[in-house]
Amino acid sequence: MPVLIISDSAADWPIQGPRVEVCDAWSYLTSPEDYPHRNLRVFNLCKSYQYQTTGYYVSLLAEARGHKPTPNIMTLQDMQSPSMLRMVSEELDELIQTSLKRLQSDQFTLSVYFGRNVAARYERLARHLFNTFRAPLMRFRFVRTDRWRIRLARAIGCREIPRSHWRFVVDAAERHFAGRAPGGKKRKSMRYDLAILHDPTENDDSPSNAAALKKFARAGEALGIGVDLITKDQYAHLLEYDALFIRATTAVNHFTYRFARRALSEGLVVIDDPESIVRCTNKVYLAELMQRHRLTTPRTRIVHRGNAQQIGEELGFPCVLKVPDSAFSQGVVKVATPEELNNQLDQFFSRSDLLVAQEFLSTQFDWRIGILDRKPFFACQYFMAPGHWQIIQNDPGKGEKYGRNKTIPVELAPRKAVALALKAANLIGNGLYGVDVKESAGHFYIIEVNDNPNLDAGYEDQILRDDLYRRVMEVFLKRIEQRKSVQGEQG
């Protein structure tokens, strides 16, 4: 993807290269016919990005022309938001305190050039700040009261760079322009590019194991889609792709949600989309949604401090109590007595003002129906862990125990279970979902709809084999081509 550097004067930037062009802001604004390339990467280095200034219009019109501006308008707004600065300070708190702990002064200014700083000890902090505020040249002011916090974030122009920093800045820029996934393997050119976001630290809890990730890459390449594995540290390279596939465990206050939100806002095809993440990761939302649409669930109550004492009377014992954002069977407990219930309520209310309580249905397994693009495509039986009532038994000090699973052709799964799962998933969106359904006494009950369901080699692919991965990549291909077609018509 070609690179265009824009500054107040073309003389502000000292180098050009075979794929790097430099121009002044006014030429870019007034001569759009000179820059017809749709996927042009525009790096806006103007001295001011204030509303309706030249720098502001460079980023604004770049978006209108289908170019990829850095910074974009969203970033410009984020930098001016005190609430955004507070959020970033809290999110990066541990890294900020560790990076700045040696300083004697109570104020510190950090320059970030294309995600890097001239001092190696601030490199990691600089990269994370760049991943959040994606502007090529920035300054951050930190102030220490009881602890270090970000007080100011602002983009700077070329003319504010000290002369002694220029060689470093040029090197940082050239590394950034070199492209995606630093350190990744070179591969042949493809029609489209897709990033798979994964978290190498998740190990057994990853939604797709290493073998599955390789199979996704091979399936994509067979369709003309180049696939790169990226991590949360490569946020700055997200816009170099046509699509994002999230294969890390999702949450709202989490890097996966930020990736999804940014990808969607920039016109990438993304699974899981941010709306699906918000909806599926909250069991209170799911409970209300299923009740509103009258889909069959176990008897369910939304619990707050005012009605908590009615749970036993309404649902009986044992019953199940859930924290809204629980995952991997954590934050989900079975209580057998009023005393156990009260103890758990005290703990869970410290985490959330609303909880979910459900009647307990004893089963040997749960159905997991995989839904992709509003169509069912796999069916699994997830059996309970040995001697336990859940699929995963979390045993402090001994780790996790898993029940076995069995995959069957979705055509042979109970039709009522598949139909119920499809109805539930369609209430969420048109992405990739795993719907958990209980079968009890001949009846089927929705337990929850999961975004980001497990797709592991050797498990969910037991029936479809490589076709499972191909089907997922075909959905991406279809959506990328649809989006490119719409963009072409608009252009």
Instruction: Kindly tell me the burial class for residue 346, based on how many C-beta atoms sit within 10 Å of its own C-beta (0-12, 13-18, 19 or more).
Output: exposed
Task: Give me the half-sphere count of Cα atoms (radius 13 Å) on the Cβ side of residue 393.
Answer: 14
DSSP class of residue 110 equals E
- Identify the CATH number of the domain defined by range 192-272+475-481: 3.40.50.20
**Residue 436's closest CA among 334, 351, 361, 348?**
361
Q: Sheet containing 137-144: which strands, arranged edge to edge?
A: 107-113, 137-144, 148-155
Burial 13-24 (b: 16+ CB within 10 A, else e): beeeeeebbbbb
Domains 192-272+475-481 and 280-466 share a fold: no
What is the architecture, at CATH level 2, of domain 280-466? 2-Layer Sandwich (3.30)
Query: Which spans in 236-295 are helix H?
Result: 255-265, 274-280, 283-292
**What pLDDT shows up at residue 385?**
83
The Cα–Cα gap between 472 and 432 comes to: 9
Can you read off the two tokens belonging to residue 3? 């690179």
Regions in the chain scoring below 50 on pLDDT: 181-186, 491
Q: Where are the domains of the chain?
A: 3-70, 77-177, 192-272+475-481, 280-466
Taking only the tens place, the pLDDT of each residue in 164-207 is: 999 999 999 988 887 654 444 445 678 999 999 999 999 878 99
Length of the chain: 491
- Identify the CATH number of the domain defined by range 77-177: 3.30.470
**What pLDDT shows up at residue 182?**
43
**What pLDDT shows up at residue 133?**
85
Can you read off the two tokens belonging to residue 488? 């072409």
**What pLDDT shows up at residue 1?**
58
Can you read off the two tokens belonging to residue 211? 């073998």
Taking only the tens place, the pLDDT of each residue in 84-111 is: 888 888 888 999 999 999 999 999 999 9
pTM metric for this prediction: 0.74
Q: What is the DSSP string of 338-361?
A: HHHHHHHHHHHHTT-S-EEEEE--
**What pLDDT shows up at residue 18?**
63
The Cα–Cα gap between 356 and 223 comes to: 43
**What pLDDT shows up at residue 188?**
62
Radius of gyration of the chain from Cα atoms?
25
Can you read off the two tokens belonging to residue 318? 């044992």
**What pLDDT shows up at residue 184?**
46
Helix then strand then coil, % of the chain, to nearest 5:
40, 25, 35
Instruction: Kindly tell me the burial class for residue 344, based on how many C-beta atoms sit within 10 Å of its own C-beta (0-12, 13-18, 19 or more).
Output: middle
